[in-house]
Amino acid sequence: MNARRISTLVLMAASLFSEYSCAVPAVAQTPKVSPVAPRREQVEAVVKEAYEKFRNDTNGKNADYIPYLAKVDSKLFGIAIVTTDNQVLTMGDVKYAFSIQSISKVYSLALAMEELGPDKVFEKIGSEPTGRPFNSPVAVVDMPTHSGNPFVNAGAIATVSLISGSTADEKWNKILNFYSKAAGEKLVLIDEVYKSEAATNTGNKALSYLLAKYDRIYADPFESVDVYTKQCSVGVNATQLARMGATLANNGVNPATGERVIKAEDIPHILSTMMVAGLYDGSGTWAWNVGLPAKSGVGGGIVAIAPGKGAIAVFAPPLDEAGNSVKAQEVIRYVAERLNYNIFSPTSVGFK
């Protein structure tokens, strides 16, 4: 083969390699879209329907055992959906920062598993519904070998005690930074909420000492309660909360930042616990009617996860007797039905 022929072949190969190399980033940057996710137009229409349908519902009342929460405007109402390909759909009061409260328990659980692994966390905390109120001391006595699950107060305080840190401040900052990664934005403590809760948290202090009686708390009891009180007092708006949920739906990767926040192998453990214990005493009814892993907080927020599709967060302060936002439950149930989100239904994965 002469030199000119060799030169021509080399140039042709270089050209093909260059074209191929340029094409790879474009493919890699293409958003992953769930093959069974509804169209954006369909989601927008359903969210608007839900907002109009339930906006004037006045059932329920604000949590009043925390003085700050009793004063929040009960008419506030916001809906946000964030999809796994980072589409954001919002309506209403989605910029108002409310306290995350018990929804924080989901992400502290994720952080504890990040550090210790799911088997160790399950061994020490458990994942069984207690059949009692979320702040029940009797449940601790009934289950002296573990704390029930990470979403009752005793289990959540024990979960916080598992997270490493040489000081309470180091542990607290680690938790806050982890939440911020899941939200894709820097979150901050609502200091007035924290002070209000810290002045009235004798029940949680009692739970922490009861855990200590059974050797089921793994750091100083009152220090653990204080860090737990701070995590419940973190401020989020509905859009940030939906993005935190979408990080779970996206197998642990924040769809806005592309950062892996939670290990993929931990996601099924987190979502299953949300399903069985995410809405306090209303968890069974929720699973029956809605079929989505979700977590509520007495601040008025609920976030629900449609795995592989996205998350919906709703904020409306008035609660039912179990401590769950009335309007948030109504909205998410409506949206889940209309968009075939129920994970127990074959239609959620494309069956007709």
Average pLDDT over residues 79-97: 96
- 153 is known to lie in a ligand binding site: yes
- How far is 235 from 208, CA to CA, in rounded Å? 24
pLDDT band at 289 (very low <50, low <70, confident <90, very high): very high
- Is 102 flagged in the annotation as binding? yes
Confidence of residue 75 (pLDDT cuts 50, 70, 90): very high
- Is 197 annotated in a binding site? The answer is yes
Do the Cβ atoms of 229 and 289 come closer than 8 Å? Answer: no
Check residues 159 and 65 and name the one with the higher pLDDT: 159
268, amino acid identity: P
What's the average model confidence in pLDDT over 105-117?
97
Residues 145-152 have a mean pLDDT of 84
Predicted local distance difference test score (pLDDT) of residue 116: 97
Residue 7 is predicted with a pLDDT of 45
Query: Contact 245/304 with Cβ under 8 angstroms?
Result: yes
Please, what is the average pLDDT of the chain? 89
CATH fold label, 40-129+159-200+218-349 = Beta-lactamase (3.40.710)
Is 325 within any annotated ligand binding site? no
How much of the chain is in helix, strand and coil states, percent to nearest 5? 55, 10, 35
Q: Where are the beta strands (DSSP E) in the chain?
A: 78-83, 88-92, 98-99, 188-189, 234-236, 294-296, 301-306, 310-315
Q: What is the mean pLDDT of residues 131-157?
A: 80
Q: Is 127 annotated as a binding residue?
A: no
Q: pLDDT tens, 254-275?
A: 999 999 999 999 999 999 999 9
Neighbour-count burial for 156-194, b at 16+ CB within 10 Å, e otherwise: bbbbbbbbebeebeebbebbbebbbbbbbbebeebeebb
Give the residue from 266, 321, 274, 275 showing the smallest Cα distance to 113: 266
- The pLDDT tens digits for 198-253 are 998 999 999 999 999 999 999 999 999 999 999 999 999 999 999 999 999 999 99
Confirm or deny that 280 is annotated as ligand binding. Answer: yes
Q: How confident is the model at residue 12 (pLDDT cuts 50, 70, 90)?
A: very low
152 close to 131: Cβ distance less than 8 angstroms: no
- Give me the percent of the chain exceeding a pLDDT of 90: 77
C-alpha to C-alpha distance for 178 and 181, rounded to whole angstroms: 5
Residue 350 has pLDDT above 90, yes or no: no
CA 56 from centre of chain: 26
| Domain locations along the chain | 40-129+159-200+218-349
The answer on whether 43 is annotated among ligand-binding residues is no
Length of the chain: 352
